[in-house]
Amino acid sequence: MNSSSPTPGTLPGWVRGIDRLTDAAAALAKWALLLACVISGGNALIRYGVGTSSNGWLEIQWYLFGAGVMLGAAQVLRLNEHVRVDLFYGRWPARRQVFMDLFGLVVFLLPVMGLLAWLSWPLLVDMVQSGETSPNAGGLIRWPAMALLPAGFGLLVLQAFSEIGKRVLWLQGRIEMNTHYEKPLQ
């Protein structure tokens, strides 16, 4: 191991930086989901208790739920809690699991998330420029919800690079196996 390589158990600054960004997005996602639930409950109470409703309040709860999903997805990847069809993977040795992770990250996740981020960006720009709003009475402007798409896909791309880096470092013996499954920063 040369002097510029991290000591076993430490991650390079760029990996830690991406993980911190993912943790921050996940914290926003958590609060967005809580707020969406509170607004949803409030909407139900007002609709059935008072007999009135607001499209704006319904739409903001959808926007917040979208924020929870799009901003929280990278954290799910970071914590290795994503859905996996585990017919063989769990029985494989760690080295094979890491190679399978690398294959999935490089061949599937990066290209698809990169493409979706790229394709969603012009839609966001069009919505911002046009000031597009919901066609519903009292509806909201749409670009904040659309901004969640390139942001969420971009976060997944960044987190994929972080996960690739961790797995390559593990294969090189520069970090311990569980280092890349550490808990979120507090």
4 lies in some domain: no
Taking 70 as the threshold, does the pLDDT of residue 94 lie above it?
Answer: yes
% of the chain at pLDDT higher than 70: 90
pLDDT 10s digits, 40-78: 999 999 999 998 888 999 999 999 999 999 999 999 999
Higher confidence at residue 103 or residue 90? Answer: 103
Per the structure, the count of domains in the chain is 1
Radius of gyration of the chain (CA): 20
Q: Does 72 fall in a domain?
A: yes
- pLDDT score of 130 more than 50: yes
List the alpha helices (DSSP H) in the chain. 13-49, 55-78, 94-103, 110-130, 143-171
| Residues of the domain holding 48 | 13-81+93-181
Phi, psi of 133 (to 5 degrees): -125, 165
The verdict on residue 5 lying in a domain is no
Residue 141 lies in a domain: yes
**pLDDT value, residue 53:** 84
Structure tokens at 22: 């993912």
**pTM as predicted:** 0.86
DSSP code for 53:
-
- Is 7 inside a domain boundary? no
